[in-house]
């Protein structure tokens, strides 16, 4: 197996995608923030002292997707066409879920953008709830679906996830 982000001498490099044909690309990722009872209660009743945590998390997720090329050293900056973010709260398991879907017509995939969106959104949610308690755990975050490009469709099942692609 050859790692595409390494040059022949084994040094990191940005992959040259100029010869690839543009295709419709889409990626979906999801993840959750595990909450302590106090944070779960705050989220269930409106969010706590910092305001509406869901709106902030959703905006942060979109911004995370848009800034992936600045955050992941070898990722290409991409002209994203759409980023959608959904949230769900599972009070029984005290999990605050985020799902991000990212798409474009381009030469490289948007998996990193979807994963970054969910990660940044969950971090923003943590930030919004930490005034209540720091007893929260970020993740896991997983890729659920990737479409387009040479490999076509790749889909990963996640039994606990409220969204199945």
Picking from 67, 143, 61, the residue whose alpha carbon sits closest to that of residue 96 is 61
Give 1: exposed, middle or buried? Use CB within 10 Å, 0-12, 13-18, 19+: exposed
Q: At which residue do the structure tokens 């002292």 appear? A: 49
Catalytic residue among 7, 16, 70, 127: 127
Cβ-based neighbours of 126, under 8 Å, separated by 6 or more: 33, 136, 138
Question: Residue 90 catalytic?
Answer: no
Instruction: Kindly list the catalytic residues.
Output: 127
């Amino acid at each position: 197996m050859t790692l595409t982000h390494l040059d022949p001498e084994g040094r990191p490099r940005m992959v040259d995608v100029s010869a690839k044909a543009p295709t419709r690309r889409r990626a979906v990722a999801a993840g959750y923030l595990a909450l302590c009872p106090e944070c779960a209660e705050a989220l269930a009743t409106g969010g706590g002292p910092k305001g509406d945590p869901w709106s902030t998390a959703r905006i942060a997720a979109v911004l995370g997707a848009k800034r992936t090329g600045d955050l992941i050293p070898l990722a290409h900056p991409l002209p994203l066409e759409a980023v959608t973010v959904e949230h769900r709260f599972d009070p029984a398991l005290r999990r605050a879920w985020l799902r991000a879907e990212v798409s474009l017509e381009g030469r490289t995939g948007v998996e990193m953008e979807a994963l970054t969106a969910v990660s940044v959104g969950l971090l923003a949610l943590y930030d919004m709830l930490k005034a209540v308690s720091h007893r929260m755990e970020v993740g896991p975050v997983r890729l659920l679906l990737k479409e387009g490009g040479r490999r076509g469709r790749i889909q990963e099942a996640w039994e606990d996830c409220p969204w199945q692609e």
